[in-house]
Amino acid sequence: MSMMDGSVRVPHFVGRGSDEHPQIASPPKASTSSTSLPTVTDHHSTWLSDQQRGTALLVTTTSATAALGRPNPRVYEVWPQVGSRNRFLCWGHCVTGPRIDFWYSCCAWSFIIAPCGFYFIVCSKWLWIHVNPWIPVLTGLVFLSTIVLLLLTSCTDPGIIPRHALQVAVAGLEQEVATATGAGIVPLDAITSEPVLQLTPQQDALGYRWCTSCKVVRPPRASHCRDCDNCVLTFDHHCPFVNNCVGQRNYAFFSGFLYSTGCLGLAVFSGIGIYFYHVARGSGSDSGTVLNDPVLYVLLIIIGAPTAILIVAVFGLSIFHAFLACRGRTTKELLTGRVTVGGRTLSTLRVPSLIHARDRVTYPMLPV
């Protein structure tokens, strides 16, 4: 992107190439005789790279707002142009996964809400009166902890490494990412302004890798998520049921969610079982719930079967991740067998987020 006479030239949009990146004409060369933008003549020679397209879109956005006298946009507002498929909620305070996980997430919420709703509406009063008031109270507390941990897992930055196009657009972010990853600042080509891959033999041996999509150096144990389309620190896996990646910053929340969900399923299944057993014997007539036998058996199948499946699946995952925590491995490392640097996964310190969704982009500062 050239600078002439102290102004910023904005690339001219000529069409759309894909859902993620519109096609942009190449920036014009310096000329004293004409200031018009060139037209597209050759597809292979005029289209910019993904990195340049994202930067050009950012230039257009910030230049337009500056020309109107408005402050530069925040990171979450320009994220679709220079970020990934993640979505921001609550004005950038929460970040979650792509839209393709919607139905998986609905399935997870249904498996939690439906059995618990039946438990608290139908069974809790009888258990309070005939068994012990602490049973529905403790079950309610476990239910609340499960919901909170699920929301923290789904709406927390898992450890996203910002793309290079975003790093240069936020003041101080490039140095912060270099410090957090230990890879140093990536040099740029003097002609194309593209990041240049320069990995030392020591970095390569330690597990540092170059990401061709994000144009960043990934530290050991980080990996690129194909679903979210970004690199994540200490990447474990992408979980569509929580609609987010599981990485360094939310792995503890995910593990807590598994253990809490297992306890919740056991409490709800046991409470429903006790209630149905006594109602079948006729000792639940004063419970305040009038249900005939056919309805009870239908509800037992509809509610009990998913709850039993949930318990088995969650306990299996809980045991699996407890095993991973003891071994100091991530899910991806165990499944692929590629381990460069071992270490703790569950009890690691939760590093600050690198995406700074509420910060304003600072490049370019001048209008067209």
Inter-residue contact 75 to 361 (CB < 8 Å)? yes
239, 245, 263, 326: the catalytic one is 239
Look at residue 211 and give its three-state secondary structure: strand
Question: 169 to each of 41, 74, 185, 188, how far by Cα in Å?
Answer: 30, 10, 14, 15
Residue 239 annotated to the active site: yes
DSSP, residue by residue, 296-309: HHHHHHHHHHHHHH
Contacts of 271 (CB under 8 A, 6+ apart): 119, 123, 124, 127, 135, 136, 139
DSSP, residue by residue, 41-91: --HHHHPPPHHHHHHHHHHHHHHHHHHTTPPPPBHHHHHHHHS-S-EEETT
DSSP, residue by residue, 349-363: --PPPSS-TTSBP-S
DSSP annotation of 2: -
CA dihedral 313→301→299→133, nearest 10 degrees, is -50
Active site (catalytic) residues? 239
